[in-house]
Amino acid sequence: KRAWRRVVRVLEEFEEGCATPVGRLRQVVDAMAVEMHAGLVSEGGSKLKMLLTFVHNLPSGSEKGTYYALDLGGTNFRILRVQLGGQRSAIIGHDVDRQPIPLHLMTGTSEELFDFIASSLKEFVEREESVSEHSKSERRELGFTFSFPVKQTSSSSGILIKWTKGFVIEDMVGRDVSECLQQAISRNGLDMQVNALINDTVGTLALGHYHDEDTVVAVIIGTGTNACYLERADAIIKCQGLLTTPGDMVVNMEWGNFWSSHLPRTSYDIDLDADSPNPNDQGFEKMISGMYLGDIVRRVILRMSEELGVFGPVSSKLHVPFILRTPLMAAMHEDDTPDLREVARILRDTLEFPDIPLNVRKLVVKVCDVVTRRAARLAAAGIIGILKKIGRDGSGGIARGKNEAASRSKMRRTVVAVEGGLYTNYTLFREYLNEAMSQILGEEIAPSVIIKVMEDGSGIGAALLAASHSTSS
């Protein structure tokens, strides 16, 4: 049938547009390394902000004591209490309390928001300390993970640049985030000191480094995506003279905003961007993260159904942005029933397509595959771009012939800490990412780059940094 051929053509064109052969991935690797460099040379030198964190020392594993953490990154906030035994990997236990932020506090005043958080914190502390004793002589210490754009002024202070994710508290913008929290803690009569202010990726890196000191890169791939890594202080040209501490510093890349002409972009990506509240922003994130993958799939299915009518009458649900969430897309992609029953169910329940024939269901699975494969491979290229920037992708040291064995032995072990629901819950995404890492690095180098999954890094990592930055230890 002619209509069928046309729908297959739409898919083929999409697939071509999303192609990520290794050669192209290598161009993305190079572009990432170049942009990182540009972002380190001057403020605004790249779409990558390359934010300074002032974190010079990552946890070593020798930290001891009880520390608290507060994780505010979206609609929920979490309070943690972490007990450290002093031996690497000996996180004796951590207790978590997760609470939603009441809607009215997201648009109120900073005092109201932080008073609410501080009083929850106080309740948590009192509850925890009633079951395990707290020696009165020690001051409690807290690490604060605050996942909004912040201009750090030290490892424990920073100024809010702007709110995102639905928060609108104007009086906070331009103010010191730690100070707001510290004042609220004091107002609530709690004795506790905020001694680390971090971004969630830095928490992931801290937890990774706590367990394994070869961890120098952290990547989050969940609803959004971001990365940070350990950079030589003298490579951070934009702050030369400002830095008194030699050695290394963690840099928060804000890599979701990365862009390069080598990224394989389709008309669906362009439309998604144009329809978004932040056009021209977060271009890399819009091709990679969980917030968007399902919606790219929806757009392709919509195009197929509109052009060709193969889905029967065009479902109006298909016009609703973000109706196809990424976990549903993953469930269709990973449907292993012979007649794709799960695909049929999701198309029926979510998109209200009553009866989709098997050959069309197969096309839908293919669309999911194309979108996820591209996302995972681009994320892999981004990671290797970071490794290249810090000389750990093996490219500087691959000697030919006789010296090959020698160079192999010189290739340092490097661990990348990864966190986020897309990577941990979506098996095919994870497999595509791992596969692309090996393809780009080559079989010589690939075994020395290890990906480790972190859990709760954004919270536990803040407590670890509170510990390693503790004034009392």
Structure tokens at 51: 């934010």
* Residue 303 or 333 with smaller CB distance to ligand ADP: 333
Locus of tokens 């509240």? 277
From 165, 234, 275, 339, active-site residue = 165
Structure tokens at 362: 């197969």
CB 297, min distance to ligand ADP, A: 12
Closest residue to ligand ADP: CB criterion = 290
Tell me which residue of 435, 443, 444 sits closest to 381, measured CA to CA.
435
* Residue 30 or 369 with smaller CB distance to ligand ADP: 369
Cα distance between residue 192 and residue 182, in whole Å: 8
Tell me which residue of 288, 467, 377 sits closest to 22, measured CA to CA.
377
* Residue 125 or 368 with smaller CB distance to ligand ADP: 368
- Residues of this chain that interact with ligand ADP (CB under 6 A) are 222-224, 290, 326-327, 330, 420-422, 425-426
Q: Find residue 67's DSSP bridge partners.
A: 82
Query: Active site includes 389?
Result: no
* Residue 306 or 431 with smaller CB distance to ligand ADP: 431
Query: Active site includes 200?
Result: yes
CB 147, min distance to ligand ADP, A: 8
CB 82, min distance to ligand ADP, A: 19
Structure tokens at 21: 């052969």
CB 372, min distance to ligand ADP, A: 9
CB 456 within 8 A of CB 97: no
CB 330, min distance to ligand ADP, A: 3
- Torsion angle, CA of 328/331/335/341, rounded to 10 degrees? -40
* Residue 227 or 441 with smaller CB distance to ligand ADP: 227
Q: DSSP alpha helices (H): ranges in 212-340?
A: 267-275, 283-288, 290-308, 326-333
Cα distance between residue 83 and residue 242, in whole Å: 35
* Residue 217 or 467 with smaller CB distance to ligand ADP: 217
The identity of residue 147, as a single letter, is S
* Residue 20 or 326 with smaller CB distance to ligand ADP: 326
What 267-272 contacts at long range (C-beta under 8 Å, 24+ apart), as own/partner pairs, is: 267/17, 268/14, 268/296, 268/299, 268/300, 268/303, 269/296, 271/299, 272/296, 272/299
CB 424, min distance to ligand ADP, A: 7
From 47, 49, 176, 200, active-site residue = 200
Locus of tokens 């750990």? 392
H or E stretch including 216?
Answer: strand 215-221
CB 45, min distance to ligand ADP, A: 28
Q: Kindly list the distances between the CA atom of residue 421 and the CA atoms of 1, 73, 75, 221, 291, in Å, as whole numbers in the listed order.
A: 41, 15, 16, 7, 11
The residues that are catalytic are: 165, 200
